[in-house]
């Protein structure tokens, strides 16, 4: 099991296209290794975004 976490120095935690693409790549590699990615959380200045909560994972 794993959870990905990173920050956006801009302060806006909205996932970018690059964040979404990177997450898909990591999830695909993790599956091949029998690892489940449960969420990817982006931390911003005034909050956070959860890929699971946004139905992106």
**Overall average pLDDT of the 16-37 stretch:** 97
Q: Other C-beta atoms within 10 Å of 2: how many?
A: 13
Domain count, the chain: 1
On whether residue 22 sits in a domain, the answer given is yes
HSE-CB for 55 with a 13 A CA cutoff: 0
pLDDT (0 to 100) of residue 1: 85
Residue 57 domain-assigned?
A: no
- Domain for residue 44, yes or no? yes
Phi, psi of 46 (to 5 degrees): -115, 25
Residue 30 burial (C-beta neighbours within 10 Å; 0-12, 13-18, 19+): middle
What region does 31 belong to: left with phi over 0, alpha with psi -120 to 50, or beta? alpha
Stated pTM of the model: 0.89
Domain boundaries, position 16: 2-50
Residue-wise pLDDT for 29-57, tens only, equals 999 999 999 999 999 998 999 999 999 99
Q: Write out the two tokens for 53.
A: 């909560």
On whether residue 55 sits in a domain, the answer given is: no
Kindly state whether residue 19 falls inside one of the protein's structural domains.
Answer: yes
Q: State yes or no: pLDDT of 17 exceeds 90.
A: yes
The answer, yes or no, to whether residue 28 has pLDDT greater than 90, is: yes
For residue 24, being part of any structural domain is answered with yes
CATH code at position 26 = 3.40.140.10
């Amino acid at each position: 099991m794993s959870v990905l976490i990173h920050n956006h120095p801009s302060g806006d935690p909205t996932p970018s296209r690059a964040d979404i693409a990177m997450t898909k790549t990591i999830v695909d590699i993790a599956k091949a290794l029998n690892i489940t990615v449960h969420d990817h959380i982006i931390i911003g200045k005034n909050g956070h975004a959860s890929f699971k909560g946004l139905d992106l994972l």
